[in-house]
Amino acid sequence: MTYFMSLFLFGLVLGLVAVASNPAPYFAALGLVIAAGVGCGVLVGHGGVFLSLVLFLIYLGGMLVVFAYSAALAAEPFPESWGDSSVLGYVAGYLVVLGLVAGWAWTGWFGVDWAVVDEFKEFSVLRGDSSGVALMYSSGGGVLVVCAGVLLLTLFVVLEMTRGLNRGALRAV
């Protein structure tokens, strides 16, 4: 199980570097799908099956549609891919910074063993993800409201950016 979690976490870091380093929306969308998929795999590995399913369906079903819409409007005939020199420079820079931060944080990290929620099933009455969802809605209600507001703001920002030069009745003649 530790090998799978290490593989998922490595894929999550590579997916996030792919999103951050690529200026073309097409390849950044692919990195976003990879990062969301392996992030859900990390949640499944730690026992959050329901939360992983909700994240995958809502995030990739909702926000990726808006991202694909804005990518379609910003169509480039020759987008920069991961093999271009400028993008490889960004990837190398991000990986160096991540390596330095990981090397700095590794000295104080003593919890190398991971315990999955379902491994202690003899000692629990409830499943881990069902009580986690209840805790998310009871204690984390404010965070859910803030996240919904941020998603709504992101939708308005993307729609405003892709609207163009139409100003309605106030446009210049």
pLDDT(173) > 50: no
d(CA 8, CA 34): 10
- Residue 162 phi/psi, 5° resolution? -95, 0
The structure's pTM equals 0.62
Of 128, 112, 111, give the one whose Cα is nearest residue 120: 128
Indicate the length of the chain as a whole number. Answer: 173
% of the chain residues with pLDDT over 90? 3
- pLDDT for the residue 48: 75
Which residues have C-beta within 8 Å of that of residue 27, sequence separation ≥ 6? 18, 79, 80, 81, 82
- Residue 164 phi/psi, 5° resolution? 95, -150
pLDDT(64) > 80: no
